[in-house]
Amino acid sequence: MTQVLRVGLIDADSDIRFGRRMLIDSQEDCKVFFEEDTAAGALQRAPEALLDVLVIDHRVRGLDGIQLVGKLIPLYQANDSEVPAIILTGPYFSYELLLSSIAAGATDLVTLDSDSGELLKSIRSSSAKEDSLDFDSLKSLMNRAGGAVFDVPDILVKLGSLEDHEPEVLNQFKLGKDDDQIAAELDLPKYRVRQCMKAILAKCGLATRAQLFLAVNAADGKNG
């Protein structure tokens, strides 16, 4: 039996939501379970919707998409709920907007002029649990979008709450090592490395490993 991905749509444009719902619901493995057109409604209802993927347009009534993502993630974590994969959509592409989206906690940016297959591909790939990170691609994006500015409030204070093996795991992660490499370097079981990474994300109030990598690099830059 095919596992169905539960998808949410947050977009102020009802016509765009209708088109995306028709596209997604036509797939055997995806279905729209949630829709909202305002930031206030999304903040109130989305964390209770049990979604696998949340597609948020950059233009939402009340907040822009990046701001909304930044407010949604803490609500999920406060409820001890799994943060869904988040895809931002926007009218144009820029490396700066892509980097800002990832820094906010989104997994991808899809533009309105992309073909329908691009959104479906992003939904399917974003729904996969993030146990690895393409460090080279992320570093290349950081170089391309050199002017992008992002910050995580009190990140150094939050990192100061790490315990047990978490600081060691984070240090290896900052060097661009994957879970297998970290496990070998620290002589830890791989599942323990994953547990540490999950705990680090939770303590920092972050949703993805890419977001964590950007945050710690920004913090190191300020201290360098």
Q: What is the mean pLDDT of each run of 10 residues along the chain (224 residues)?
A: 88 94 96 96 94 92 90 89 92 88 91 89 81 85 76 81 95 94 96 94 91 86 57
Tokens of 48: 């209770």
- 174 close to 221: Cβ distance less than 8 angstroms: no
Contact, 133 vs 172, CB < 8 A?
no
Q: Whole-model pTM?
A: 0.87
Q: Which residue in this structure is represented by tokens 């930044």?
A: 70
Q: What is the CA radius of gyration of the chain?
A: 18
The upper half-sphere exposure of residue 224, i.e. CA atoms within 13 Å in the direction of its Cβ, equals 6
Separation in Å, CA 111 to CA 73, 90, 100, 139, 208:
22, 5, 14, 22, 21
Task: Give Cβ neighbours of residue 205 (< 8 Å, ≥ 6 apart).
Answer: 73, 74, 77, 152, 158
Question: Does domain 155-223 sit in CATH 3.40.190.10?
Answer: no
Q: Report the top-level CATH class of 5-128.
A: alpha beta
Every domain of the chain with CATH number 3.40.50.2300 lies at 5-128
Q: What is the pLDDT of residue 220?
A: 74
Q: What is the pLDDT of residue 129?
A: 59
CB 69 within 8 A of CB 28: no
Q: What is the pLDDT of residue 145?
A: 84
pLDDT, position 26: 97
C-alpha to C-alpha distance for 30 and 123, rounded to whole angstroms:
9
Q: For residue 202, how far is the Cα from the chain centroid?
A: 13
Where in the sequence of the chain do the CATH 1.10.10.10 domains occur? 155-223
